[in-house]
């Protein structure tokens, strides 16, 4: 009986300690969450930067986000994370998707203070940015289309700029032309300090740019900032489901094939190009120190694609190759090219869980980033998002028809031995 009582007391004390530990941990988490929310709601006296990623689609916008994050850090202002601008079928105007639907705000904010546009407009703008003080920034007067705008920056002229700012009920009362100040704070000595002197935060608490204070393609110095853009749990879960539904539980190769007719026409311009085009610096180098731009690099022929796929599958011992593409209807030619090699690997493409659903581009990007080997289009900014993420993770990537002699084994291919596994955790 005594021993039973002792055991009971010991067991009770153990439960009490575990309960106390759980409650203290819970309190810390709640306090941390409350502290983060409070910090986001407090006015940053160093000022804010707003911008519109109004050029191009997701890949191009990502370049602008990277450059603008760096710009905000150099000026030491909180970055207001703009929504992603999307264009949906049968929708006459652009759709604004909140930043945190695709990426984690806390990971960006860990590098530099950042809040979403929704938080800024609901919590901060009423305190420091009333409608009477909303001024748009641009380098010089911009050309307007249709009815002349009232401000020289034409910040809301056209689509997507108009719908972008309208989503948050923002109208501008005037414009500020910031010429000759440039967005290049890394190659122009003293430029950041000139920005700070001309626009001190106590007089200009908000710098709202009509476009993005960054360049496309992204500057070399800013490309590595991709590591701070980590997929939201919602995107990661969709990528996990995609992998479980379509791929075997084994190593896999992920590839991006840009095949649309619009891309084919764009690639024809490489015949006259003397420098880089779009995101081609990711394989050629910013000074083209690794090769020259060719049409085949931009739009590879089918034998090259099939040959590189087979080689990648052999090297990684992958039973499947996942193909992300903008033109799945053109993959029949690839299947014909692979005829006779069907036993080597399975060719997998997007298949909707429900009939009629379009491809989930963001889930595909997250999936490609965790493949055992990725092969992308050197010129494509969509491929560049995957390449930069994989580069930050130390995972191997290759490009179609690169190096120029695609029959030779590239340095990226040599790195892709089976021992270098992709990341299983999505």
**CA 80/CA 175 separation, integer angstroms:** 19
Domain membership flag for residue 260:
yes
> Is 394 found in the same domain as 264?
yes
Last residue of a domain, one of 220, 241, 257: 220
Last residue of a domain, one of 176, 191, 220: 220
Query: In this predicted structure, what is the pLDDT of residue 406?
Result: 53
Instruction: Say which residues have a Cβ less than 8 Å from residue 369's Cβ, sequence separation at least 6.
Output: 386, 389, 390, 393, 395, 423
Domain membership flag for residue 410:
yes
Query: 409 pLDDT exceeds 50?
Result: no
Domain membership flag for residue 4:
no
> Is 208 found in the same domain as 355?
no
Query: In this predicted structure, what is the pLDDT of residue 192?
Result: 98
> Is 216 found in the same domain as 240?
no
Query: In this predicted structure, what is the pLDDT of residue 40?
Result: 67
Query: pLDDT, tens digit, for every residue of 42-68?
Result: 999 999 999 999 999 999 999 999 999
**CA 37/CA 230 separation, integer angstroms:** 20
Sheet containing 206-209: give its strands across: 114-116, 78-81, 48-50, 206-209, 135-138, 174-177
Query: In this predicted structure, what is the pLDDT of residue 90?
Result: 86
Q: How many domains is the chain built from?
A: 2
> Is 287 found in the same domain as 247?
yes
pLDDT band at 147 (very low <50, low <70, confident <90, very high): low
H/E run at residue 256: strand 252-257
User: What mean pLDDT, rounded, does the chain reach?
Assistant: 89
> Is 127 found in the same domain as 265?
no
**CA 195/CA 182 separation, integer angstroms:** 9
> Is 76 found in the same domain as 177?
yes
> Is 269 found in the same domain as 162?
no
> Is 383 found in the same domain as 251?
yes
Where is pLDDT greater, at 194 or 405? 194
Label residue 189 left, alpha or beta by phi (over 0 means left) and psi (-120 to 50 means alpha): beta
Domain membership flag for residue 59:
yes
Judge whether 395 and 368 are in contact, CB under 8 Å: no
> Is 192 found in the same domain as 155?
yes
Buried b (16+ CB within 10 A) or exposed e, 184-206: bbeeeeebbeebbeebebeebbb
Instruction: Say which residues have a Cβ less than 8 Å from residue 367's Cβ, sequence separation at least 6.
Output: 239, 242, 243, 254, 322, 324, 426
> Is 310 found in the same domain as 209?
no
Query: 2 pLDDT exceeds 80?
Result: no
Query: In this predicted structure, what is the pLDDT of residue 22?
Result: 52
Three-state DSSP state, 425: coil
- Look up the CATH number of the domain holding residue 137: 3.40.50.11340
Q: The pTM is what?
A: 0.87
Domain, as residue range, for 297: 232-415
Q: Give the mean model confidence (pLDDT) for residues 320-331.
A: 95
Domain membership flag for residue 12:
no
For residue 403, say if its preceding peptide bond is cis, omega within 30 degrees of 0: yes
- Look up the CATH number of the domain holding residue 249: 3.40.50.11350
Query: 420 pLDDT exceeds 60?
Result: no
**DSSP track, 52-76:** ---SSSHHHHHHHHHHHHHHHHHHT
Query: In this predicted structure, what is the pLDDT of residue 358?
Result: 83
Tokens of 178: 């910031």
Q: Give the mean model confidence (pLDDT) for residues 327-336.
A: 94
Query: pLDDT, tens digit, for every residue of 110-130?
Result: 999 999 999 999 999 999 999
Distance of CA 204 to the CA centre of its chain: 29
Of the candidates 401, 403, 359, 411, the one whose C-alpha atom is nearest the C-alpha of residue 377 is 401
> Is 286 found in the same domain as 163?
no
> Is 356 found in the same domain as 321?
yes
Last residue of a domain, one of 181, 198, 220: 220
Query: 29 pLDDT exceeds 50?
Result: no
Query: pLDDT, tens digit, for every residue of 59-109?
Result: 999 999 999 999 999 999 999 999 999 999 888 999 999 999 999 999 999
């Amino acid at each position: 009986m005594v021993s039973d009582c002792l055991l009971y007391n010991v067991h009770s004390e153990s439960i009490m300690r575990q309960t106390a530990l759980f409650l203290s941990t819970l309190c810390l988490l709640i306090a941390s969450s409350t502290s983060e929310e409070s910090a986001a709601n407090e006015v940053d006296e160093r000022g804010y930067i707003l911008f519109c990623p109004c050029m191009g689609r997701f890949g191009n916008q990502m370049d602008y986000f990277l450059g603008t994050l760096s710009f905000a850090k150099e000026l030491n202002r909180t970055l207001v994370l703009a929504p992603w601008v999307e264009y949906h079928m049968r929708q006459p105007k652009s759709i604004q998707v909140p930043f945190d639907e695709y990426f984690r705000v806390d990971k960006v904010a860990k590098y530099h203070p950042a809040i979403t546009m929704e938080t800024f407009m609901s919590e901060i703008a009423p305190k420091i940015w009333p409608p009477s003080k909303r001024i748009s920034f641009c380098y010089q007067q911009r050309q307007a289309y249709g009815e002349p705008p009232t401000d020289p920056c034409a910040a809301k002229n056209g689509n997507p700029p108009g719908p972008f700012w309208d989503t948050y009920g923002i109208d501008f009362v005037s414009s500020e032309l910031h010429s000759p100040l440039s967005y290049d704070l890394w190659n122009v000595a003293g430029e950041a300090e000139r920005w700070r002197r001309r626009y001190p935060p106590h007089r200009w608490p908000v710098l709202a740019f009509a476009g993005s204070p960054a360049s496309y393609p992204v500057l070399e110095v800013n490309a590595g900032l991709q590591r701070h853009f980590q997929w939201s749990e919602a995107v990661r879960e969709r990528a996990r489901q995609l992998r479980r539904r379509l791929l075997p539980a084994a190593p896999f190769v992920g590839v991006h094939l840009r095949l649309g007719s619009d891309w084919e026409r764009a690639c024809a311009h490489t015949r006259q190009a003397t420098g880089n085009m779009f995101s081609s610096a990711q394989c050629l180098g910013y000074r083209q120190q690794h090769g020259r731009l060719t049409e085949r690099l931009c739009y590879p022929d089918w034998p090259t694609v099939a040959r590189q796929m087979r080689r990648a599958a052999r090297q990684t011992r992958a039973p499947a190759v996942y193909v992300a593409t903008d033109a799945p209807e053109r993959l029949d030619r690839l299947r014909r090219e692979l005829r006779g090699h069907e036993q080597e690997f399975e060719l997998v493409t997007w298949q909707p869980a429900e009939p009629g659903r379009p491809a989930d581009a963001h889930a595909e990007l997250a999936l490609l980033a965790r493949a055992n080997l990725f092969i992308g289009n050197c010129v494509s900014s969509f491929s560049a998002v995957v390449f930069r993420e994989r580069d930050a993770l130390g995972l191997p990537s290759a490009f179609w028809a690169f190096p120029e002699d695609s029959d030779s084994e590239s340095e990226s291919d040599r790195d892709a031995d089976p021992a270098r596994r992709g990341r299983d955790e999505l």
